[in-house]
A and B are shown apart, each in its own frame.
Chain A
Amino acid sequence: MPFKVDELPEAPYSFQLVVNKTGSWRNFRPVIDYNRCIRCMICWKFCPDLSIQIVPDETHKLKIKPVIDYEHCKGCGICANECPVKCIEMVREE
């Protein structure tokens, strides 16, 4: 990038999966307290940036937990705002 004339497809179209560490946009980062998290996954449900992953978790009876993808999380705070048990804290980035 940028590609040379002969390296480009003849017609203009994109083809590579996006690589963009939008985590650098953050001012605040969400931190989940897993002791209080009830695994409702509402945070995952409402994340516009697909920055919450569902990860297997044997320590909980529902077997899954939400994990923040800090490489991409933009720190919008929706997860913290919607969490029914308020177990997500928005912590200021250094």
Chain B
Amino acid sequence: MRKVITGNYAAAYGAMLSRPAVVAAYPITPQTTIVELLAKFKAEGIADYKYIPVESEMAAISACMGAELSGVRAYTATSAHGLLLMHEMLHWVAGQRIPLVMNVANRALAPPWSVWADHQDAIAQRDTGWMQIFAENNQEVLDSVIMGYKIAESHDILLPMIINMDAFILTHTLEVVDIPDQEMVDEFLPSFDLPHKIDLDNPRQYGTLAFPNQYMEFRYKMAQAMERAKSKIKEVAEEFKKKFGRYHGDLLDIYRIDGADVVLITMGALSSMGKEAVDILREQGYNVGLIRLRTFRPFPTEDLRKYLKDVAVIGTIDRSYSFGYGGALFNEVKAALYGHSDVIVKDYIVGIGGRDISTETMIKIFKNAIEIKKEGKLDREIEWIDLNI
């Protein structure tokens, strides 16, 4: 059924169709309409989950962890400061191998207060052991929630996943979304089956202290699972395409990189602007392309090496900044390519605090990267775009 809905509503539909048994809800701009629609679904009798209106985001994620350990699927959503507040429990959920799926509306961090789009909140959770997908449009938001549960709950993965969506640009913007039928989703997504869920006849102590001679092995298992997630995400994307006829890319969303010697790497909704810029510049005869990094965790190291092998200049478009040395994509792409290619990598910091990114901005960036290719060297490693300086 096709409807014109916001990204938030798409997320709520994705969640509702995945049949969670417990939904923990705490409001934060701009995610509020997700939890409101989920409440409406319950109130109207469309869904039967236990709806817990918790008293903080920390309680939201904790309640979800409890619910999943009891043996049922859970869901919650948050943004920016809510995600930060959850940080301690993010480590806990991943470490306890709870396959929770959560939507995050990516919003800039205070101070100064801001409600607008920025990836800093999600980037700041890089090391927690959560898988992370960045959606480009509302359809992808809905589809990724359903795929997310299937990937996360696979017995050889068992890691939680964040589905990221840009504040207001996706959360509050209306787009045409195809909402799948419940029966089709039921056929695609099996019922919840956590191997280590609580067994009342078989007492265990979850998360018990481990001495230095044993802790490391548990972390290694998490690392291995994160590695396995790469092929699992590809596998599930293929299955989804077969079942629902839609494909958003798997780890990467490749856009016209055949023969491209200048490629921008982007995440999230701004990728659409980048793709438009590619089309315009290709018309003008430039050999440019774009790779949208759909999966930020696990980081698609091997795929990037494969596709960027013959590229001369890469521009990483970072909607975040890791105070120290550039944005997250810059650091990770460079690290992935080191020793595998001579490509020049430049970091373009854009859209921080919701600063607008238009197709013109992207064309400007491409043109700068094309200049660098001509010169054969960088003008500067890191450039903040459209800064009032």
Contacts and interface: CB of A to CB of B under 8 A. Distances in A.
Direct contact of A and B (CB under 8 A): yes
A9 B196 contact: yes
A3 B206 contact: no
B21 to A, nearest CB: 20
A14 B203 CA distance: 9
Interface in A23-60: none
Contacts of A12: 95-97, 206-208, 210, 218
B284 interface: no
B213 A2 contact: yes
Interface in B96-114: 96-97
B96 A8 contact: no
B205 A2 contact: no
Interface string A49-82: 0000000000000000000000000000000000
Interface in A8-28: 8-15
A10 B196 contact: yes
B214 A14 contact: no
B44 interface: no
Interface residues of A, number: 13
Contact of A13 (B155, B158, B208): B208
B217 A2 contact: yes
A9 B220 CA distance: 12
A11 B196 contact: yes
Main secondary structure of the interface of A (DSSP, over half): loop
Contacts of A2: 211, 213-214, 217
B221 interface: yes
A4 interface: yes
Most central of A1, A10, A12 by chain B CB within 10 Å: A12
Nearest to A12: B218
Given A11-B196, A12-B96, A5 B217 contact: yes
Interface in B184-214: 195-196, 202, 204-208, 210-211, 213-214
A14 B205 CA distance: 5
Interface in B150-166: 155, 158
A12 B158 CA distance: 12
A8 B196 contact: no
Given A2-B213, A2-B214, A3-B214, A11 B158 contact: yes
Contact of B217 (A8, A11, A14, A15): A8
Interface in B204-248: 204-208, 210-211, 213-214, 217-218, 220-221, 224-225
18 contacts: A2-B214, A2-B217, A3-B214, A3-B217, A4-B217, A5-B217, A5-B224, A8-B217, A8-B221, A10-B97, A11-B96, A12-B207, A12-B210, A12-B218, A13-B204, A13-B207, A14-B205, A15-B204
The 10 closest A-B pairs by CB, nearest first: A11-B97, A14-B205, A14-B208, A13-B204, A11-B196, A2-B213, A2-B214, A13-B206, A12-B218, A5-B217
Interface of B: 95-97, 155, 158, 195-196, 202, 204-208, 210-211, 213-214, 217-218, 220-221, 224-225
